[in-house]
Structure 1
């Protein structure tokens, strides 16, 4: 299965352990090698036999998958989470020994994780396993990049470690991972579907609309929750397979923390960074897909002309442009949006490209972009205050940045919408809508109902 053309693991470990400075108790070692083709989802499914947390990330529009198994190191932050996370990440890289001859995205030291939508909102029991900012450097990483496959091992070594013994232990776990690969299979059905406080949500929408009409905000995004109960414990790999099959042009993700797993298929890129090349996305304004080509075309044309949706979209375009101006140059934004079709929905879409200035990082950009007007509202301070005081749920990681960054100066973050928190044989799904001064309560309710469908469609609905 594995093509080993690189320096043997034992030799690399021996080199690091022998040269470990006397003032260092331990050191992170990262070793990447190229391997033969592997089905990343089968690898993810088989890895559950090791009883370690798993992470899955794929961009279905590109040939890019990352699967993380276990935990070599974890970065947590509560206060000043962007600055603290960046500082800990930089410190980690500065002290790591990285053996990676390939330098492609998603290899070497890779951190995958996310953040809470609003760390000032009191955390509920629902999200107790997910920190306000939590990034994992997995012990094992399988990466698919442009139909090439790589396997990375991340481990800490000490002066007392024996290279051969440590290498044997690592290779044993590696062999188990590749030997246990399984095709996911599941026949999940929804036994119970409960919309959480729908009437109170409508009342909150009315309150938000009134606040906007009295000039307390221009737009406020309000989310609601749906609670599901299944016939048995959900199989995460099976859910991921269905999401991949049904949702082209999306980021499919899963972050597993013990028995809980945050899963989704989001079309909304927050930012992608390749060296200094920056790409962001304005995705706001939503309509359903038509049942025929003619109906679909008419809906898309109506979406382009719809004043409410165009206003929503323009909020996001202006915010992203303003957020990038301090940190980048050569910002390019098309004058008009296009329609971005998905399986169940279509959105207004505008790409934004720029060049990141020296001295700034992906964390500077994420901090400026989150929350976008598509998930929070505008102005940011006023809309977030209303959400914090009035919204009926703890969003947790819903609507927040999730993604990855690597030691090769690559990173990508998406906005975690079209998502749910799976907890054994139960789940919470989340969907939101942008409220403006002319919003109709029932239309907003129906829009959120449509936004539940991407997850419902893979969970047995």
Structure 2
């Protein structure tokens, strides 16, 4: 990667054009500027006037928001280890990129956003036909919010027959449109049909799983199910994101488009974050609802902290993440006991993880070691995934897979795509799962999945909708 700070913007563009002519190959250019604050949700919404392909990410802490419009390139592995192959593609792309950047901020310049399916070996159904097994997109236009500072990035492939003034005109025209949006009108759709997919069969699958666990086939398995909604109008993902922002604090927000469908969610579960080689992960397993009163809330939290089944399930996740992080890091710090992690509708058992990533490893190395965690797959991991592949009715697609971003400086973050929905024009599929162990009771597990469906269900049909305004 060629990082340019001293030259002017025009000089950098001319340099890239000259190289494109010399090599007869397109050249990746990235231009970063600091801008006045703008609402990322309006930026994302306005993106439809320029390109259908849009991506969105917001950290649980709210300190990093990244919204992408358009697509310069999409990284997809064709064979072998999908994480390793994508890493190699990214390195190759960055070797020739020319970046004009005077700020050196995470999440700016060339950034890839996207995700991975839960299980690449699972037979794909019609539900997820528009989503490939994995996809990381480098957006054409990128808004990045770091704390209180905002940055705008133009990423483009410059071809030998391009003209500098024409490129500048198009970029400036799109920039003005994206950064000047002040509102996004929206007519909220209404739910006209709702269907749980084979709930009784799902309960029977839980019962069968407990029998298989008692017979020693595996220790734990996570089984998921689907709820389908039909609306009277096409669903607007920008409005869904805004509503998730309003209602789901302490959650990661994401939206990934693929061939007209959108995978959207507000997940509490971080997989891994790397910033300046400082690694942060989290163990999140064990769930109860929030209470209607402070006292009820406290009692529910205390019961969770002392519940043997949930503590056992949480312990599985802690040990797996410890093993994965220690394999590629040093100075690993994991507390002995979990604490409560409260959300609006739910509270979870939570154990933070901190470490220093070794120089020879990357963010995607860690993602490949952590996915799937016992909280979304089971134990032993390979046996549980095989069991899910053969027994689970649902085609999970990207549900429970890693979603996130990384930049050219080896910074990035991935979360686990739960509390999510697949939006297909006027239809939405919501997903929820629970960990099944030897003493699981099917009706109790069904009720737990119903609780976990509530965050997305309330956003799509249970609370007032608003108009986005700056």
Report SS of the residue matched to 2:68. strand
Q: CA deviation at 1:309?
A: 0.3
Name the structure 2 match of 1:81.
Answer: 82
* Deviates further, 391-400 or 42-51: 42-51
Name the structure 1 match of 2:72.
Answer: 72
Report SS of the residue matched to 2:421. strand
Q: Aligned partners of 2:412 and 2:141: how far apart in 1?
A: 18
Is 1:27 paired with 2:27?
yes
Residues 282 and 350 in structure 1, CA contact (< 8 A), matched pair in contact too: yes
Q: CA deviation at 1:408?
A: 2.0
* Deviates further, 181-190 or 309-318: 181-190
Write out aligned runs for 1:108-123 (5 A).
108-123=109-124
Is 1:426 paired with 2:427?
yes
Report SS of the residue matched to 1:155. strand
Name the structure 2 match of 1:317.
Answer: 318
Q: CA deviation at 1:171?
A: 1.2
Write out aligned runs for 1:50-69 (5 A).
50-69=50-69
Is 1:164 paired with 2:172?
no
Name the structure 2 match of 1:37.
Answer: 37
TM-score (norm 1): 0.96
Name the structure 1 match of 2:260.
Answer: 259
Name the structure 2 match of 1:382.
Answer: 383
Name the structure 2 match of 1:417.
Answer: 418
Report SS of the residue matched to 2:430. strand
Residues 266 and 415 in structure 1, CA contact (< 8 A), matched pair in contact too: yes
Residues 111 and 138 in structure 1, CA contact (< 8 A), matched pair in contact too: yes
Q: Give the aligned CA root-mean-square deviation in angstroms.
A: 1.5
Is 1:284 paired with 2:255?
no
Any unmatched runs of 5+ in structure 2? 463-470
Is 1:100 paired with 2:101?
yes
Residues 21 and 161 in structure 2, CA contact (< 8 A), matched pair in contact too: no
Name the structure 1 match of 2:130.
Answer: 129
Name the structure 1 match of 2:467.
Answer: none
Q: Deviations over 1:90-148 (max 9, x none)?
A: 11111111111211111010000000000000111111121111000000001111110
TM-score (norm 2): 0.95
Name the structure 2 match of 1:460.
Answer: 461
Any unmatched runs of 5+ in structure 1? none
Distance 1:360 1:24, change over 3 A: farther
Residues 184 and 238 in structure 1, CA contact (< 8 A), matched pair in contact too: no
Write out aligned runs for 1:300-311 (5 A).
300-311=301-312
Distance 1:430 1:78, change over 3 A: farther
Q: CA deviation at 1:443?
A: 0.2
Q: How many residues align?
A: 457
Distance 1:352 1:24, change over 3 A: farther
Name the structure 1 match of 2:466.
Answer: none
Distance 1:220 1:272, change over 3 A: same
Write out aligned runs for 1:320-335 (5 A).
320-335=321-336
Q: CA deviation at 1:11?
A: 3.3
Name the structure 2 match of 1:18.
Answer: 18
* Deviates further, 257-266 or 304-313: 257-266
Report SS of the residue matched to 2:266. strand
Distance 1:186 1:63, change over 3 A: farther
Q: Aligned partners of 1:428 and 1:226: how far apart in 2?
A: 6
Q: Aligned partners of 1:146 and 1:24: how far apart in 2?
A: 41
Name the structure 2 match of 1:225.
Answer: 226
Residues 72 and 154 in structure 1, CA contact (< 8 A), matched pair in contact too: yes
Q: Aligned partners of 2:128 and 2:78: how far apart in 1?
A: 14
Residues 44 and 181 in structure 1, CA contact (< 8 A), matched pair in contact too: no
Q: CA deviation at 1:51?
A: 3.7
* Deviates further, 49-58 or 219-228: 49-58
Q: Aligned partners of 1:353 and 1:394: how far apart in 2?
A: 33
Report SS of the residue matched to 1:282. strand
Residues 184 and 237 in structure 1, CA contact (< 8 A), matched pair in contact too: no
Q: Aligned partners of 2:6 and 2:57: how far apart in 1?
A: 26
Report SS of the residue matched to 2:295. helix
